[in-house]
Amino acid sequence: MNKCTVAELLSSNNFLQEVTIKGWVRTFRANRFIALNDGSTINNIQCVVDFENTSEATLKRITTGAAISIKGTLTESQGKGQSVEIQVNEIEILGDSNPEEYPIQPKKHSFEFLRENAHLRIRTNTFSAVMRVRSALSFAIHKYFVENGFYHFHAPIITGSDAEGAGEMFQVSTLNPNKLPKNETGTVDHSKDFFGKQTNLTVSGQLEAETYAMALGKVYTFGPTFRAENSNTTRHLAEFWMIEPEVAFNNLDDNMDLAEDFIKSVISDILKNCKDDLAFLNDRLLQEEKSKPQNERSELSLLEKLNFVVENNFKRVSYTEAIDILRNCKPNKNKKFQYLINEWGADLQSEHERYLVEKHFKCPVILFDYPANIKAFYMRLNEDGKTVRAMDVLFPGIGEIVGGSQREERLQVLQQKMKALNIDEHELWWYLDTRKFGTAVHSGFGLGFERLVQYATGMGNIRDVIPYPRTPQNAEF
Amino acid sequence: MNKCTVAELLSSNNFLQEVTIKGWVRTFRANRFIALNDGSTINNIQCVVDFENTSEATLKRITTGAAISIKGTLTESQGKGQSVEIQVNEIEILGDSNPEEYPIQPKKHSFEFLRENAHLRIRTNTFSAVMRVRSALSFAIHKYFVENGFYHFHAPIITGSDAEGAGEMFQVSTLNPNKLPKNETGTVDHSKDFFGKQTNLTVSGQLEAETYAMALGKVYTFGPTFRAENSNTTRHLAEFWMIEPEVAFNNLDDNMDLAEDFIKSVISDILKNCKDDLAFLNDRLLQEEKSKPQNERSELSLLEKLNFVVENNFKRVSYTEAIDILRNCKPNKNKKFQYLINEWGADLQSEHERYLVEKHFKCPVILFDYPANIKAFYMRLNEDGKTVRAMDVLFPGIGEIVGGSQREERLQVLQQKMKALNIDEHELWWYLDTRKFGTAVHSGFGLGFERLVQYATGMGNIRDVIPYPRTPQNAEF
């Protein structure tokens, strides 16, 4: 076991102590200076090898990617860029890394190349920083909810219902596809399957979470969800993690308050706890942007964007107001939008959301009270009879990051809506029971975790913020 | 939004303040005393209705399960069993609960009946206590790892590999089972499927976690895993949550230290944070045991069992020692075991594990150094050439709760083992890369979350510690 970590040593001033440290060589220069990393921080510790008293054979094996164990003395560093270093007394090569074969050399690799080597990309500065921030965000999320009286609800992953309609589903089965049992009509006999019926991977744990909120008060899910959609974009994954809080007695205003407070809180958390990684990612993005034409660069750096979210109120705008703004804006009048906004009721596209957030308001925006017919069946109908108590939180650069609503708590209204949309009441008998017995106002939302990680790390492609992305034609590793 | 919770009011001594509280009626007796619960605690708050000034129509609607909103004055309670109560000034019925139809009445329901009403069982004392403890354990786990320098690694759920061999797998597909594309030989053409090949639900995130440990040092997974096994027992689920830490530079001793410290820490955490729920579950179990014959009752109560784990060292015993004990023990000599232990190499069954833990050592036991041929391919071969650095943690009542090992870090030894077991090297090319480039000693283990929740709550059936259990023939809700 590593009795101490690079992170601990770098912040130590216990000089002249003897230390043992294990890690991987990032670089070895002048036959003398090893930059050693063990994953505990983005920073390396410099280990100074006494090359005159080290065998040539050993020196040759100190290559990028090799695992080594160092015994030495912690000293104040003479060099620039670090405060401590280790004067090496003993070095052991634990695992070699043949420089002729090792794909991750100390040079710039394309993200595309690194995606093909997703098992090794975590050994680079960028990906280790992204994944440490991802981990910190994940914990910040749990901490926020627990400290605010929420219970973690583990939603089922395999589901027998496909009523939620959030998207295309993956089927789950144990039937041998080459020997499918058939029933009399010649179609597949799903009663012979593992669960005795057709099952799918969940697209959302919301409906189940509602049943728990109606007893525990405040619950949240944080688990994988799935979309079998052929979307090859920088914002879509077939498998992604979602956070879904659900709160009894919350109306839509409370729901917006929760979403805003939640996002601010977790971002504020990583600004405090991930300083080194965020500083690195901030610089990385600045470098990347230099290769873009001036007018395509962001006005704010990564750190400025994160601080901006924490420090400013999200602008709350009704769908109706938004349509007014969009109808009269320049890109609509000049027909620059791909989908022109002509009338109330139009479904907003990514280009419209981005205009509102990035050009018009220049801050995160919460749109609310959408037309009923472009939103899901379970959303609370307003007294106007044509809008529902839905809300979307829109972020600069990534668009919709949160989608939520106050839920329709009135049994009859819900039943009418389901009937109109041909949703089978029998399949959702248990969901309707929550409206039959002790129903109450309640609200919740879903937040795509990877989109939040994208925003927090400044990574452009969602495939680069999850360890092993699943996308159409790709389930490697 | 509920501006205060029952838990807060019960611990308040801010008497005579005006409060508003929303929740669900647990009982209503003497037309006067409402026991109100909002999920924030197992305890109800007593609300005293001024029935002379409340309409008969309203009083009739105060039934078990109804959602209500109360305005009133917080006062010191005159009655037994509570310190505060609310003198009701105003009562609003938010959602009725027809006592003729509501399945959850204030009486004892069988667990079997409650499983059929899993969407409502969370409204009972037992299940709300279990699920609050489950949530607290989940957070304690994240906290333990984060405080000890681990990063949360989100393992992929859909996987293209089936090499790990931990169990039967569920297939994932978007192909229409009634119109399967065929290739020339008449078998299913998986290249037409969503991912361009056959994919399954993961049985373990370990192999992927290893790739991350070899860069970040210490990582853990906490996610759903799946077994398509037709096991209808009180200890098996088709979908369950697993925790898998993986640590670079840890050997098997470090791994055992980690497992023991981890389990003690999280149990100690809930003993501190879930006092009321655990006290309730402790009493529940005592009541349940009263219906058993004396000799079948546990010697320790639930709280005693939890404290015992925290306060005592786990006994570490090699497989070889365990075989000696079992070969010479009474049930083996008297042929009471279903599977008699005759010689070294035998695979231990549940009856043997239980004997060691419950009769012989009477404490949690860690067995280690198992015969190579009854364990997985990735476990580190000992110098004796016949045992591997595997370990299992065995708990009273539930048997194996943790299974882990030091991993085989030597490329050639691993390749030989895979060849002998017909595991395709090409499929695990990325796993082998971790041994090619900077390999090092490392170890990890898997812990079935639901088994831990069973132990922590004293629940006999694993279906009662997860919100919506998935088992053969059952994927309801």
In chain B, residues with a C-beta closer than 8 Å to the C-beta of A146 are: 135, 139
Sign of the Cα pseudo-torsion (A319, A320, A321, A324, in order)? positive
For residue B394, how many other CB atoms are within 10 A of its CB? 27
Q: Does residue A172 belong to the interface with chain B, where contact is any CB pair within 8 Å?
A: yes
pLDDT exceeds cutoff 80 at B299: yes
- For residues B152 and B93, state if they share a domain: no
Find, among A142, A143, A151, the residue nearest to B40 by Cα.
Answer: A151
Q: Does residue B95 belong to the interface with chain A, where contact is any CB pair within 8 Å?
A: yes
Q: Tell me the nearest-neighbour CA distance from B217 into chain A, angstroms.
A: 5
**444-473 of A, contacting B, C-beta below 8 A:** 466-468, 470, 472-473
Residue A470 lies in a domain: no
Find, among A144, A172, A147, the residue nearest to A158 by Cα.
Answer: A172
pLDDT of res. A21: 97
Nearest CA in chain A to B217: A39
Separation between Cα atoms, residue A264 and residue A261, nearest integer Å: 5
Q: Does residue A340 belong to the interface with chain B, where contact is any CB pair within 8 Å?
A: no
- Token pair listed for B2: 């509920």
Q: Tell me the nearest-neighbour CA distance from A465 into chain B, angstroms.
A: 11
Q: Does residue B129 belong to the interface with chain A, where contact is any CB pair within 8 Å?
A: no
pLDDT of res. B163: 64
pLDDT of res. A80: 77
Separation between Cα atoms, residue A108 and residue B205, nearest integer Å: 29
**138-167 of B, contacting A, C-beta below 8 A:** 138-139, 142-143, 146, 149, 151-161
Nearest CA in chain B to A4: B149
- In chain B, how many domains are there? 2
CA atoms in the 13 A half-sphere facing the CB of B218: 21
Q: Does residue B247 belong to the interface with chain A, where contact is any CB pair within 8 Å?
A: yes
- Token pair listed for A35: 């930059």
- For residues A348 and A415, state if they share a domain: yes
Nearest CB neighbour to B1, from listed A128, A171, A250: A250
Separation between Cα atoms, residue B249 and residue A394, nearest integer Å: 44
In chain B, residues with a C-beta closer than 8 Å to the C-beta of A180 are: 177, 180
pLDDT, tens digit (0-9, with 9 covering 90-100), for A140-198:
999 999 999 999 999 999 999 876 666 799 999 999 999 999 999 999 999 999 999 99
pLDDT, tens digit (0-9, with 9 covering 90-100), for B3-22:
799 999 999 988 999 999 99
Compute the mean pLDDT over every residue in chain A, rounded to the nearest whole number. Answer: 95
- For residues A256 and A359, state if they share a domain: yes
Nearest CA in chain A to B143: A139
Q: Tell me the nearest-neighbour CA distance from B340 into chain A, angstroms.
A: 33
Burial of A276 (0-12, 13-18, 19+ CB in 10 A): middle
Average pLDDT (A24-36) is 97
Q: What CATH number is given to the structural domain containing B455?
A: 3.30.930.10
pLDDT exceeds cutoff 50 at B333: yes
Residue B109 lies in a domain: no
In chain A, residues with a C-beta closer than 8 Å to the C-beta of B118 are: 430
pLDDT, tens digit (0-9, with 9 covering 90-100), for A429-438:
999 999 999 9
> Would you say B438 and B214 are in contact if contact means Cβ atoms under 8 Å apart?
yes
The percentage of chain B sitting over the pLDDT mark of 70, rounded to a whole number, equals 99
Nearest CB neighbour to A139, from listed B142, B175, B195: B142
- For residues A303 and A363, state if they share a domain: yes
Residue with tokens 């399967």: B180
User: What is the 3-state composition of chain A as percent helix, strand, coil, each rounded to the nearest 5?
Assistant: 35, 25, 40
- For residues A388 and A313, state if they share a domain: yes
H or E element in which residue B85 lies: strand B84-95
pLDDT of res. A1: 46
For residue B296, how many other CB atoms are within 10 A of its CB? 8
Q: Is the pTM of this model over 0.90?
A: yes
CA atoms in the 13 A half-sphere facing the CB of B318: 11
Q: Does residue B123 belong to the interface with chain A, where contact is any CB pair within 8 Å?
A: yes
Nearest CB neighbour to B430, from listed A95, A119, A171: A119
**A146 Cβ contact list (under 8 Å, min separation 6):** A152, B135, B139
Residue with tokens 């009725």: B96
Residue B151 lies in a domain: yes
pLDDT of res. A166: 66
Q: Does residue B93 belong to the interface with chain A, where contact is any CB pair within 8 Å?
A: no
Residue A357 lies in a domain: yes
CB spacing of B438 vs A95 below 8 angstroms: yes
pLDDT exceeds cutoff 70 at B202: yes
Q: Does residue A40 sit in helix, strand or coil? A: coil
pLDDT of res. B33: 96
- For residues A59 and A139, state if they share a domain: no
Residue A176 lies in a domain: no
Residue with tokens 């007394």: A89
**A100 Cβ contact list (under 8 Å, min separation 6):** none
CB spacing of A194 vs B22 below 8 angstroms: no
C-alpha dist (Å) from residue B59 to B51, B63, B95, B317, B320 = 8, 8, 14, 64, 70
In chain B, residues with a C-beta closer than 8 Å to the C-beta of A409 are: 95
For residue A132, how many other CB atoms are within 10 A of its CB? 24
pLDDT, tens digit (0-9, with 9 covering 90-100), for A204-262:
999 999 999 999 999 999 999 999 999 999 999 999 999 999 999 999 999 999 999 99
Confidence of residue A397 (pLDDT cuts 50, 70, 90): confident
**A23 Cβ contact list (under 8 Å, min separation 6):** A2, A6, A36, A37, A38, A39, A45, A67, A68, B217
Confidence of residue B200 (pLDDT cuts 50, 70, 90): very high
Question: What beta strand segments (E) does B356-471 contain?
Answer: 365-371, 387-395, 399-406, 442-448
Q: Tell me the nearest-neighbour CA distance from A307 into chain B, angstroms.
A: 24
Separation between Cα atoms, residue B251 and residue B257, nearest integer Å: 10
- Token pair listed for A191: 């009663």
- For residues A98 and A141, state if they share a domain: no
Q: Tell me the nearest-neighbour CA distance from A90 into chain B, angstroms.
A: 17
Nearest CB neighbour to B467, from listed A138, A197, A208: A208
Query: Between chain A and chain B, how many beta carbons pairs sit less than 8 Å apart?
Result: 335
The percentage of chain A sitting over the pLDDT mark of 90, rounded to a whole number, equals 92
pLDDT of res. B339: 96
| Domain region containing A21 | 3-102
Find, among A351, A365, A263, the residue nearest to A306 by Cα.
Answer: A263
The percentage of chain B sitting over the pLDDT mark of 90, rounded to a whole number, equals 92
Residue B115 lies in a domain: no
- For residues B132 and B253, state if they share a domain: yes
Nearest CB neighbour to B123, from listed A173, A215, A466: A215
CB spacing of A122 vs B211 below 8 angstroms: yes
pLDDT exceeds cutoff 60 at B135: yes
pLDDT, tens digit (0-9, with 9 covering 90-100), for A68-110:
999 999 999 877 777 899 999 999 999 999 999 999 998 899 9
Find, among B373, B331, B376, B371, the residue nearest to B354 by Cα.
Answer: B331
Separation between Cα atoms, residue A115 and residue B451, nearest integer Å: 36
> Would you say A5 and A38 are in contact if contact means Cβ atoms under 8 Å apart?
yes
Separation between Cα atoms, residue B348 and residue B329, nearest integer Å: 14
Average pLDDT (B283-293) is 94
In chain A, residues with a C-beta closer than 8 Å to the C-beta of B434 are: 119
- For residues B78 and B20, state if they share a domain: yes
Nearest CA in chain B to A253: B1
- For residues B45 and B143, state if they share a domain: no
Q: Does residue A334 belong to the interface with chain B, where contact is any CB pair within 8 Å?
A: no
CB spacing of A177 vs B180 below 8 angstroms: yes
C-alpha dist (Å) from residue B119 to A404, A440, B104 = 22, 16, 11
CB spacing of B238 vs A24 below 8 angstroms: no
Q: How far apart are the first and last CA of chain B?
A: 27
Q: Does residue A377 belong to the interface with chain B, where contact is any CB pair within 8 Å?
A: no
pLDDT, tens digit (0-9, with 9 covering 90-100), for B170-196:
999 999 999 999 999 999 999 999 999
Average pLDDT (B320-340) is 97
H or E element in which residue A389 lies: strand A387-395
Average pLDDT (A9-38) is 95
Confidence of residue A426 (pLDDT cuts 50, 70, 90): very high
pLDDT of res. B365: 97
Q: Tell me the nearest-neighbour CA distance from A229 into chain B, angstroms.
A: 9
In chain A, residues with a C-beta closer than 8 Å to the C-beta of B25 are: 438
Within its chain, how far is the Cα of B13 from the centroid?
Answer: 37
H/E/C letters for each residue in B297-333?
CCCCCHHHHHHHHHHCCCEEEEHHHHHHHHHCCHHHH
Find, among B20, B85, B41, the residue nearest to B278 by Cα.
Answer: B41
Q: Does residue A473 sit in helix, strand or coil? A: coil
Q: State phi, psi for A247 to the nearest 5 degrees.
A: -130, 125
H helices within B292-448, ranges in order?
302-311, 319-327, 330-333, 350-354, 411-420, 429-436
Separation between Cα atoms, residue B344 and residue A453, nearest integer Å: 51
- For residues B156 and B288, state if they share a domain: yes
The residue out of B102, B132, B148 marking a domain boundary is B102
pLDDT exceeds cutoff 50 at B465: yes
Average pLDDT (A464-474) is 97
Residue A188 lies in a domain: no
- For residues B19 and B137, state if they share a domain: no
pLDDT of res. A370: 98
pLDDT of res. B1: 45
Separation between Cα atoms, residue B320 and residue B345, nearest integer Å: 9
**B393 Cβ contact list (under 8 Å, min separation 6):** B259, B260, B263, B314, B364, B365, B366, B400, B401, B402, B403, B445
Average pLDDT (A28-39) is 97
Q: Does residue B99 belong to the interface with chain A, where contact is any CB pair within 8 Å?
A: no
Nearest CB neighbour to A172, from listed B151, B172, B474: B172
**B407 Cβ contact list (under 8 Å, min separation 6):** B210, B378, B379, B380, B442, B443, B444
Amino acid making up residue B204? S
Residue A57 lies in a domain: yes
